[in-house]
A and B are shown apart, each in its own frame.
Chain A
Amino acid sequence: MSRIHITTTVNGETAEFLTEPRETLLDVLRNQLGLTGSKEGCGTGDCGACSVLLDGVLVSSCLVLGVEAQGKTVETIEGMATDGALHPLQRQFIEHAALQCGFCTPGILVAAKALLAQNDNPTETEIRYWLAGNLCRCTGYDKIVRAVQDAAAEMRGAA
């Protein structure tokens, strides 16, 4: 099977990889680029654990082929903290204990960041609908929703 050479931008840096056409972007991120923060929960676009931004749009990286990333920008959980400083969402998740096993957390953080980028003051309902495709079996979601609300408040204050 022939492998295809892909050049893309991941978290602001140029990344190159060789991929077989049937490999997903999630496979490539984890197995070739060593970015194991994005998780495979279901592999069918139901759980959101593999959430990344592709050209700024929130997608499930298990439902994107690696070859589709050619010339695009990819943002993953690994790019969320800057210079060792946690993003307000990350800090608030710790503050609220909005995680337990942590498997869903990278996907939820990436999805929540995408929400706050377009709505800096979402209601609880808006947060719950936006994150409906991010499944968490530990927390019951309440702490996640409150962490997102407090991070939003913090980011509004800082802006």
Chain B
Amino acid sequence: MRYHAVESFDEAVRISASATGITRFLAGGTDVLVQLRAGSIQPDDIIDIKHVPGVKDITRRADGGWDIGAAVSGIELGAHAELCRDWPGVVEGMRLVGSTQVQGRATLTGNLCNGSPAADSVPGLMAAGATVSVTGPDGARVVAVADIPKSPGKTNLKPGEVITRVHLPPRGENGGDCYLRFIPRTEMDIAVVGCAVSLRVSGDMITEATVALGAVAPTVVLVPAAGAALVGSALDDAALEALVTAARAACRPISDRRGTVEFRIEVAGVLARRAASIAYARAKGETA
């Protein structure tokens, strides 16, 4: 195994494009090193991107949106007060990943590229309408986070491609988001179901809403029907019932040691209802 501490993403791509064996990009390493040690991957080349200038930066763009470097850790995300004010749901999703020790290293980008359907930070990114900058042998492109996951452990990134930054849109006025997950304990577990809701209000009326579910399908999924169930309502009982029905209808879960199909479908509805209520209160400025 060769280790490359690259100084630019161009250099990273040059190495990955010319590599003949298995390549892994290293940011926080909290998944890659576990897989390496377990023997589930045997990389020939490890490309450490943490020395690339800007990978630790969180920057507000002129349009009010955010650019987040590929190596920004969970702790760094959580310590950024302005970002937390704009996108509390995105940040709380990332902050649920692992322990304090893992939070010191783990990144949004890594959580996304690991491809787990239960990734805690991904539903929040999808609900927010986040995109990522990708660079690779064929050049650079911008891809919606929702288009990255392909199947458990697999992404739609092409060989040699690497994510360089995460982009969040401008939060704008009267918006709020939230991520909730169910685990059978209080910390240090993998989501049985996760749900993120991002919405905007005009007075009491919801004008936009996006819902994403985790751990109930082969990938994290957007549920357009669940968002549509909220739009035009003031989060009344009928809208919440429609939300719950749509969220449950989108579930294609498996039964495993964490939960059964039936349980996951039931909980998806419960979490959608609760996450929507919290996002709504945040959008109205009633809670942080």
Q: Does A67 contact B (CB under 8 A)?
A: yes
Closest Cβ–Cβ distance, residue B39 to chain A (whole Å) = 11
Q: List 28 A-B contacts (CB under 8 A).
A: A2-B2, A4-B3, A20-B1, A21-B46, A45-B30, A45-B98, A48-B99, A48-B101, A51-B101, A57-B73, A57-B75, A59-B101, A59-B104, A60-B101, A62-B33, A64-B29, A64-B33, A65-B3, A65-B26, A65-B33, A67-B3, A67-B48, A129-B100, A132-B99, A132-B188, A133-B99, A133-B187, A134-B99
- A-side contacts of B288, CB under 8 Å: none
**A4→B48 CA distance, assembly (Å):** 15
A122 to chain B, nearest CB (A): 12
Residues in B with CB closer than 8 Å to A24 are 33, 37
CB of B36 closer than 8 Å to a CB of A: yes
Instruction: Say yes or no for B38: interface residue by CB 8 A criterion.
Output: yes
Q: Which residue of A lies closest to B75 (CB)?
A: A57
Return chain B residues, CB-CB under 8 Å to A68. 29, 48, 50
Q: Map CB proximity to B onto A40-82 as digits: 1 under 8 Å, 0 otherwise.
A: 0001111010010010011110111101101000000000000
Q: Which parts of A108-133 form the interface with B (CB within 8 Å)? A: 111, 114-115, 129-133
From A2, A45, A65, give the contact of B99 (CB < 8 A): A45
Residues on the A chain within 8 Å of B5, using CB: 67, 70
**CB-contacts of B101-149 with A (<8 A):** 101-102, 104-105
Most chain A beta-carbon contacts within 10 A, residue among B1, B46, B100, B101: B101
Whether, in the assembled complex, B34 has its beta carbon less than 8 Å from a beta carbon of chain A, the answer is yes
Inter-subunit contact B102/A60 (CB<8 Å):
yes
Identify B37's interface contact among A57, A58, A62, CB under 8 A: A62
Tell me how many residue pairs across A and B have CB atoms closer than 8 Å: 88
Majority secondary structure, B binding face: mixed
Q: Are B102 and A63 in contact (CB under 8 A)?
A: yes
Partner of B2, one of A21, A58, A115, A131: A21
Size class of the B contact interface (CB-based, 8 Å): 20 to 34
Classify the secondary structure of A's interface with B.
mixed
Q: List, in ascending order, chain A residues with CB within 8 A of B33's CB.
A: 24, 45, 62-65
A residues engaging B (CB < 8 A)?
Answer: 1-2, 4, 20-22, 24, 43-46, 48, 51, 54, 57-60, 62-65, 67-68, 70, 111, 114-115, 129-134
The winner among A59, A64, A129 for most chain B CB atoms within 10 A is A59
Q: How far is the CA of A46 from the CA of B98 in the complex (A)?
A: 8
Minimum C-beta distance from A137 to chain B (A): 14
Within the complex, the shortest CB–CB distance from A54 to chain B, in Å, comes to 8
Shortest Cβ distance from residue A107 to the other chain B in the assembled complex, whole angstroms: 9
> Smallest CB-CB separation from A4: which chain B residue?
B3
What residues of chain B lie closer than 8 Å to A43, measured between beta carbons? 37
- Shortest CB–CB separation between residue A21 and chain B, in angstroms? 4
Q: How far is the CA of A54 from the CA of B73 in the complex (A)?
A: 13
Question: Which residue from A67, A130, A133 sits with its C-beta under 8 Å from B102?
Answer: A133
Interface pairs A-B: 8 shortest CB-CB: A133-B99, A21-B3, A132-B187, A57-B104, A60-B101, A59-B104, A63-B33, A44-B34
Complex CA gap A64/B188 in Å reads 19
In whole angstroms, how far apart are the Cα atoms of A68 and B104 in the complex? Answer: 14
Asked if B34 and A21 sit within 8 Å, CB to CB, the answer is: no
Q: Which residues of B contact A20 (CB under 8 A)?
A: 1
Give the chain A neighbours of B50 by CB distance below 8 A.
68
- A60's nearest neighbour on chain B, judged by CB, is B101
Map CB proximity to A onto B17-60 as digits: 1 under 8 Å, 0 otherwise. Answer: 00000000010011001101110000000101010000000000
Name the interface residues of B165-211: CB closer than 8 Å to any CB of A.
186-188
Q: Which residues of B contact A48 (CB under 8 A)?
A: 99, 101
Residues of A within 8 A of B105 (CB): 57, 59, 63-64
When distances are taken between beta carbons in the complex, the residues of chain B under 8 Å from A59 are: 101, 104-105
Q: Smallest CB–CB gap between A123 and chain B, Å? A: 15
Q: Which of A58, A129, A131, A134 contacts B104 (CB 8 A)?
A: A58
Contacts of B188 in A (CB 8 A): 46, 132-133
User: What is the CB-to-nearest-CB distance from A144 to chain B, in angstroms, rounded to a whole number?
Assistant: 15
Q: Which residue of B lies closest to A129 (CB)?
A: B187
